[in-house]
Amino acid sequence: MRKLKNVLLVSALALSAVTATVSIAETVDVEGGTWSYGYTTGINAYSDYYHSYNYHGSRVKNRNNGDTNTANAESGVWSKAWIWDVWDPATFYYSSNGGY
């Protein structure tokens, strides 16, 4: 019975570590638009940009392996770029006029 309790305790701790949500993000107003970027749930990095009157874009790049995603959008629509990025550092970009 004691062994079963230990197994259940270890399983519960492992499950809580896996399901914990970690978000490191920032949202700022830049060049007439709104830019939101960072990491969510420990598995991806994202760069989203919104501009109300310009065609625009966002990009995110894994600094270790070069994996990159770019998104462009019409005025009034969010551009949403993201990559799978479990532990690697990322670089975040936005373009307020013309996209990428």
Q: Using an 8 Å Cβ cutoff, are 43 and 79 in contact?
A: no
**Domain for residue 11, yes or no?**
no
What single-letter DSSP state applies at residue 18?
Answer: H
Measured in residues, the chain has a length of: 100
pLDDT by residue (tens digit) across 50-92?
999 999 999 999 999 999 999 999 999 999 999 998 889 999 9
Structure tokens at 58: 């966002």
Q: How many CA atoms lie within 13 A of 73 on its CB side?
A: 22
Banded pLDDT at 8 (limits 50, 70, 90)? very low
> What is the domain extent for residue 80?
21-95
Classify strands 33-40 and 44-51 as parallel, antiparallel or unpaired. antiparallel
- Is residue 63 situated within a structural domain? yes
Is 47 a member of any domain?
yes
For residues 62 and 98, the answer to whether their CB atoms sit within 8 Å is no
Domain assignment present for 9:
no
pTM for this one? 0.76
Residue 15: pLDDT band by 50, 70, 90 thresholds?
very low
Number of domains in the chain: 1
